[in-house]
Amino acid sequence: MAHVYESARSRNEYLLFHYGTDDEILPWHEGPQTALGFAVRTVSELIDVRRPLTRALDVGCATGRSSFELARHCNAVVGVDFSESFVAAATRLRDAGFHDYERTEEGELFTPLVARVPEDIDRERVRFETGDATDLRADLGSFDVVHAANLIDRLPKPMRFLERLPGLVNPGGQLLLASPFTWLEEFTPRSEWLGGLMREGQPVRTSDALRELLVPYFELDLQCDLPFLIREHARKYQWSVACGTRWIRR
């Protein structure tokens, strides 16, 4: 289902999700305002700025907003995504600082908008590349921060990604994960789900499975709820709550 993220509509949705102003995304003041700015908050609310922050990896970076946010703290940021369309948009934002796109209003009606990287972010610190989170290239190196938001439940084999993490995060480094745990067979075969099912008559929850998988290598340092809002058109939204965690490499 990776092709879902190659469409112009999906790219535009994510440009709005990542870069839209509050009013561009949600003009309804009675709406869930605390769910705005998710791509920024997965960094600002999870990262520990007291720890060494030199090099960061953003896996599943989509159109790149979290990668740019990481550049506020790290000298070098690598953003990786499977979608060539997303990476092309992120790279254009890195090179030009802006990207024209269209917001869907209703049916075939659109509003032209411009995504912009905040001027106080050094875009030169960031670079983007296409890549598979379940088969990241061997020469990526290691990082002080690895960030992965809304990724694990969109991978066909999430265990492959998780097994790679101990070698990607430096000792004392941070792993920032966020996910609503939306397991769907369109993306992940049921046999590969980390949670959301019954085993031997007992419920298996993703948060518990992550602890079991990560604790040999990482210490859970923070857990919090991170609501987010994706606008599909003027009168339809997806409101979700991701589980945000910060793990420290042992």
Does the pLDDT at position 202 exceed 60?
yes
Contact assessment for residue 194 and residue 158, using Cβ atoms and an 8 Å cutoff:
yes
Instruction: State the pLDDT at residue 101.
Output: 98
Instruction: State the pLDDT at residue 4.
Output: 83
pLDDT digits (tens, 9 = 90+) for 115-143: 999 999 999 999 999 999 999 999 999 99
Instruction: State the pLDDT at residue 248.
Output: 98
Residue 70 is classified by DSSP as: H
Determine phi and psi for 123, rounding to 5 degrees: -65, -20
Measured CA to CA, the distance from residue 206 to residue 196 in angstroms comes to: 6
pLDDT digits (tens, 9 = 90+) for 67-90: 999 999 999 999 999 999 999 999
- The whole model's pTM is what? 0.97
